[in-house]
């Protein structure tokens, strides 16, 4: 499901219910949201009161998560954290659920620091991509992050864990909780799922040690300031950092080659993605000078099929010179479906221009102090 689509559900989520059918759907979803909220409150209370127990590893554990369904850029942020820790002498295990892969319900080693050991169909698209991007980092997947973490401790002697999408994962204690808020869709329309996109109420930001506002360069400055002020009210003790997802290169899907971003200037491009929120990706291409003649959107983590994709591109992207997709999509796209030059846009997390960068922010967060 793409959160920018025009389905009945998304029209209700966006507050656009106009017909009697849509208003009935809105009322029903509101009741389901209330039920979800009650179950969530009970779940968290069990841990708060000691009725459920968290496992604590004897190493640094940094969680990178969010409040909403998809689209905040968690993986890019978690990769940046793991890369920084590894470059500063830590033996790092990156723990992912492995969403969409056949190994999600098992505990599997995707990488021992030298690239992927498993195909994307088993590891999941994001862990496969991460294994290529993080040499020297141990990548493990599995729904039970206690088991994958214990496996990493026993087998690799790690001294740091990065927990991808960990804010809702209460079974494992963490030393640092980083929560991402997407400037393009900051508070999930202020309703819990399924009436909105929130996995937890905004008030739960109070549990965070840091809140990173992602895609901060894609909104107006006054809108960004309003988001920041709300975060500071909700989480007065948390560090707030404005970040951007910085494009760094275009990487060919057909051969081992990369080119500079200025090749996009004036180029007729089809933006191809299967993301929860594709808007940030598409806006980035436009900011780089591409002329988007087509926006082909599939549901998040879509399993591309060659014939279907080829037919879709022939129908919707006839005028495009190039296909440009995301790093995550690139590992799932069958090459035989592409009949023109096709590239993946590589992205890295950076601080907003004029503000602190990761090499300043992370040491401050890990030490718990910083001179602003």
Share of the chain above pLDDT 90, in %: 81
Residues facing 203 on adjacent strands: none
Taking the domains of the chain in order of start, what are their residue ranges? 8-48, 60-244+351-367, 247-347
Q: What is the pLDDT of residue 120?
A: 87
State how far the Cα of 265 lies from the Cα of 262, in Å rounded to an integer: 6
Question: pLDDT band for position 138 (50/70/90)?
Answer: very high
Question: pLDDT band for position 106 (50/70/90)?
Answer: confident
Q: Which CATH class is domain 60-244+351-367?
A: alpha beta
Q: Tens of pLDDT along 304-328?
A: 999 999 999 999 998 999 999 999 9
Instruction: Tell me which of 2.60.40, 3.40.50, 1.20.58, 3.40.1000 is the CATH number of domain 247-347.
Output: 3.40.50
State how far the Cα of 32 lies from the Cα of 206, in Å rounded to an integer: 25
Q: What is the pLDDT of residue 276?
A: 81
pLDDT at 362 over 70: yes
Question: pLDDT band for position 96 (50/70/90)?
Answer: very high
Q: Tens of pLDDT along 152-166?
A: 999 999 999 999 999
CA 171 vs. chain centroid, Å, equals 21
pLDDT at 71 over 90: no
pLDDT at 6 over 80: no
Of 217, 211, 214, the closest CA to residue 232 belongs to 211
Asked if the domains 60-244+351-367 and 247-347 are classified in one and the same CATH topology, the answer is yes
Q: Tens of pLDDT along 261-281?
A: 999 999 999 999 998 889 999
- State the DSSP code for 352: P
State how far the Cα of 268 lies from the Cα of 227, in Å rounded to an integer: 34
CB 248 within 8 A of CB 221: no
What is the pTM (predicted TM-score) of this model? 0.93
Beta strands in 113-217, from DSSP E residues, in sequence order: 138-141, 160-164, 176-182, 210-214
Q: What is the pLDDT of residue 256?
A: 86
Q: What is the pLDDT of residue 368?
A: 58
pLDDT at 369 over 60: no
């Amino acid at each position: 499901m793409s959160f920018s689509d025009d389905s009945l559900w998304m029209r209700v989520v966006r507050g656009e219910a106009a017909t009697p059918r849509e208003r009935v759907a809105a009322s029903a979803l509101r009741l389901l949201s209330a039920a979800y909220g009650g179950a969530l409150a009970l779940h968290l209370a069990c841990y708060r009161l000691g009725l459920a127990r968290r496992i604590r590893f004897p190493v640094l554990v940094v969680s990178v998560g969010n409040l909403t369904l998809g689209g905040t850029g968690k993986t890019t942020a978690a990769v940046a954290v793991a890369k920084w820790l590894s470059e500063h002498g830590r033996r790092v295990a990156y723990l992912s659920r492995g969403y969409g892969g056949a190994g999600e319900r098992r505990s599997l080693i995707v990488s021992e620091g030298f690239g992927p050991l498993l195909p994307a169909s088993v590891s999941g698209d994001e862990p496969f991509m991460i294994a290529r991007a993080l040499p020297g980092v141990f990548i493990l997947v599995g729904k039970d992050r206690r088991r994958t973490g214990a496996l990493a401790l026993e087998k690799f002697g790690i001294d740091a864990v990065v927990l991808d999408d960990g804010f809702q994962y209460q079974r494992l204690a963490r030393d640092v909780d980083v929560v991402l808020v997407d400037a393009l869709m900051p508070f999930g329309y202020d309703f819990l799922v399924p009436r909105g996109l929130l996995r937890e109420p905004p008030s739960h930001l109070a549990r965070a040690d840091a809140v990173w506002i992602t895609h901060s360069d894609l909104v107006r400055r006054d809108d960004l300031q309003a988001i920041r002020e709300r975060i500071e009210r909700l989480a007065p003790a948390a560090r707030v950092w404005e970040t951007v997802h910085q494009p760094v290169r275009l990487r060919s899907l057909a051969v081992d080659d990369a080119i500079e971003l200025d090749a996009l200037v004036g180029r007729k491009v089809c933006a191809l993605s299967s993301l929860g929120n594709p808007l940030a990706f598409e806006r980035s291409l436009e900011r780089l000078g591409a002329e988007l003649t087509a926006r082909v959107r599939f549901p998040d983590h879509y399993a591309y099929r060659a014939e279907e994709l080829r037919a879709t591109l022939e129908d919707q992207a006839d005028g495009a010179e190039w296909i440009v997709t995301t790093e995550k999509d690139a590992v799932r796209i069958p090459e035989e479906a592409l009949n023109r030059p096709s590239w993946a846009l590589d992205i890295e997390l950076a601080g907003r221009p004029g503000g602190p960068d990761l090499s300043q922010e992370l040491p401050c967060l890990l030490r718990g102090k910083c001179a602003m």
